[in-house]
Amino acid sequence: MSLTPRFPHFLHGGDYNPDQWLDHPDILERDVLLMEKAHVNAVSVGIFAWATLEPEEGQYNFTWLDEVNSRLKKHGVHMILATPSGARPAWMAEKYPEVLRVNDRFERAHFGGRHNHCPSSPVYRAKVQKIDRALAERYAGDENVILWHISNEFSGDCRCPLCQERFRTWLKDRYGTLDNLNRAWYTGFWSMGYTAWSQIEPPSPRGQMANLSLLLDWRRFSTWQCADFIAMERDTVKAVNPDLPVTANLMESFWDYDYFRLCEELDVVSWDCYPTWTGGDDADLAAYIGMNHDLMRSFRRQPFLLMESTPSLVNWKAVNKLKKPGMHLLSSLQAVAHGSNSVLYFQWRKGRGNAEMFHGAVVSHDGRDDTRVFGDVTEVGKALETLGDGLYASPVQQARVCILYDWSARWATEYSQVGLNGKMDYHGTALAHYRALWKMGIPVDFCDMRESTDLSSYSLVICPQLYLFMNGIEEKLRTFVANGGTLVMTCFSGISDATNLAFLADTPYRLTDVLGVRETELDALSPEECNHAAFTDGEVWRATGLCARPALEGAEVLAIYTDDFYAGLPAVTRNRFGKGEAWYLAARFDDDALLSLYARLSGSLKLPRALETDLPHGVTAHRRGKYVFVENYSGKTVTLSLPGTYEDALKGTDAGDTLTLAPCTVSVLLED
Ligand code: GLA
Ligand code: ZN
């Protein structure tokens, strides 16, 4: 499926900031020659160019952008055109301070930085709409422009009086009456009750931080604010040309907004990916990044774009490491293996000054094209051309496994004062389950708890610490199992409702008959403590962090706890329900345990793998149509036997029976 119908091919390129180089026409001329040489075919332009586009209020200057676009066009480079709302000119901040954000201590920002606008400000919205419309009128009809890039990395929230008022209105729409809100937020606690809407303030370390339902709703409101802002920009540019698709660049494991909800506003999902690869054993990191890619693919159930990645290093981490030889191709094709239809970088050319002057770029301050980085980038460009339209048209392998991952559950879990405060680790728990499947090359989708969620196409649904239940998810899970599905649910699931009020019922809510077990108490273990689960065949799993004490309600006990006052209690259970079965894991088990669990389930459920062969440690595989990506993150040379006849799609040679992969390498196999 094409994300960019005007140019339905893999995109290779990245952020290009010609507005920083207008006093160097020679460099602008050279840029396009170098782009061609690096097999670059798309660049994102204008992301932070507002001050150049509108140097004085109402005085637009598009001449430079016209010239940039026609130069790019001549060299076969397409333009992803940004709206400039991620940073604003000084004149605007000076004249209209309301465009600036108010932080959680209720202090208004001064001019500077970026990503710091108020999303409610009518002045800001009007200014954004005006420049967006002007950009659209000038460029949206141009065939060289293939995608809108709305703003940049939306994040955070504002607590100005305007945003506070919008929050109250949002709450009124949601709850109708103050009585309803007081009940839903359990405000009898600590005299929190509100007697007028005007008393409700956003969470703040100077004010209310103990009302967990307020914290949760504030995150949902922030998501809505951001979605509403994106929709405003999207509708403005689409009013001129409804056919030019819209994206916004997202971030990894992002906390502030519910990305499933946000992506409803976008045509195309894209994200910015900046792992610190070491070139040694990067298996865990690769699984973590793989999960991020699969989340991006899952938000809209379609391919996505890798909008930013570094061609070499970043400059904002504590330790900024270069990519070792091979890593650039491997990490770029990792994204493609998971469903990305692009490899794009931050940035094309290194700036001369300021905060990002030492951030990696395709072209460095020396302007040379004989560098290691330029060579690595060119190699990726060529690889994407070689893999070409056959791969481009191939969707990722259909997943039969789904992990339920939901931002409301995540926020509520992390806000709750329970168990391992600060380390309840919703994301990490989901990742642990994902990692086991990643190691076997089993494709995984993610779903959240929106009403639209449909689990019927899956064989296996995993609920890691699904603390909060909403929108009737318990009914969907019940039906899923009754119809033959296999459910894996862990401890600390089904405890609270949509506003984080505890269910007054057995745990997990309305699923104890499906699981045949009920959770009675949750215990936390210190880092030096552990417990164990022993199976009848002698297998032992190690449990750390969280251990629940369950009571049986008819399930088959597969393993019992061996230690402490838990000894003899069920630790792993399975229950047949309808045509399916439901597994319950009473504790947080380590990686070997989860690997054993999913190896067993993948056998019994005949889950498809990208490559039907044993993968050595640090090696994974992903499939798009007839293309199989075998990726080596082990830091060592590995050999594996191939279960069929393949061509090495990058080299154009027969792949043989065994595949040997050097450290930091990837092989793309084309099935016969
Ligand atoms: C983010 C931003 C870019 C740039 C890079 C640097 O992803 O979107 O503008 O600052 O980080 O890594
Ligand atoms: Zn505001």
Percent of the chain with pLDDT over 90: 100
Average pLDDT over residues 191-210: 98
Same-domain check for residues 597 and 641: no
Inside any domain, residue 186: no
Inside any domain, residue 196: no
The pLDDT of residue 58 is 97
Atom 10 in ligand 1: which residue has the minimum CA distance? 356
User: Ligand 1 within 6 A of 152 CB?
Assistant: yes
User: The tokens 């946000």 sit on which residue?
Assistant: 262
Distance CA(179)–CA(175), nearest Å, equals: 8
Band of pLDDT at residue 546, cut at 50, 70 and 90? very high
Taking alpha carbons only, the member of 374, 294, 376, 378 closest to residue 340 is 294
Same-domain check for residues 421 and 346: no
- Which of 605, 627, 643 is the C-terminal boundary of a domain? 605
Query: Which of the residues 36, 153, 414, 553 is marked catalytic?
Result: 153
- Residues 1-35 have pLDDT tens digits of 799 999 999 999 999 999 999 999 999 999 999 99
Q: How far is the CA of 103 from the centre of ligand 2 (A)?
A: 9
Q: How far is the CA of 162 from the centre of ligand 2 (A)?
A: 5
The pLDDT of residue 363 is 98
Inside any domain, residue 526: yes
Q: Give the nearest ligand 1 atom to 308 CA.
A: 7
The residues, ordered by sequence, that sit 6+ positions from 649 with a Cβ below 8 Å of its Cβ are: 386, 387, 391, 627, 668, 669, 670
User: Ligand 1 within 6 A of 274 CB?
Assistant: yes
User: Ligand 1 within 6 A of 474 CB?
Assistant: no
The pLDDT of residue 614 is 93
- Which of 605, 638, 659 is the C-terminal boundary of a domain? 605
The pLDDT of residue 269 is 98
For the entire predicted model, the pTM comes to 0.98
Same-domain check for residues 350 and 423: no
- Residues 608-645 have pLDDT tens digits of 999 999 999 999 999 999 999 999 999 999 999 999 99
Burial class (CB in 10 A: 0-12, 13-18, 19+), 417: exposed
The pLDDT of residue 276 is 97
Same-domain check for residues 133 and 251: yes
Domain count, the chain: 3
- Which of 560, 576, 605 is the C-terminal boundary of a domain? 605
308 is catalytic: yes
* C-beta neighbour count of 90 within 10 angstroms: 10
Read off the DSSP letter of residue 323.
Answer: P
Inside any domain, residue 192: no
Inside any domain, residue 187: no
The pLDDT of residue 494 is 98
- Residues 415-444 have pLDDT tens digits of 999 999 989 999 999 999 999 999 999 999
The pLDDT of residue 234 is 98
**Residue 566's CATH number:** 3.40.50.880
Percent of the chain with pLDDT over 70: 100
Same-domain check for residues 413 and 383: no
Distance CA(387)–CA(546), nearest Å, equals: 46
The pLDDT of residue 392 is 98
Average pLDDT over residues 68-79: 98
Q: Which domain holds residue 631?
A: 619-671
Q: How far is the CA of 222 from the centre of ligand 2 (A)?
A: 11
Does the pLDDT at position 251 exceed 90? yes
**Residue 630's CATH number:** 2.60.40.1180
The residues, ordered by sequence, that sit 6+ positions from 84 with a Cβ below 8 Å of its Cβ are: 46, 47, 48, 49, 50, 53, 131, 151
94 is catalytic: no
Same-domain check for residues 423 and 516: yes
The pLDDT of residue 24 is 98
SS3 499: coil
Q: How far is the CA of 346 from the centre of ligand 1 (A)?
A: 6
The pLDDT of residue 387 is 98
SS3 460: strand
What average pLDDT does the chain have? 98
**Residue 231's CATH number:** 3.20.20.80
Atom 12 in ligand 1: which residue has the minimum CA distance? 314
The pLDDT of residue 615 is 97
The pLDDT of residue 348 is 98
Same-domain check for residues 122 and 159: yes
Residue type, 107: E
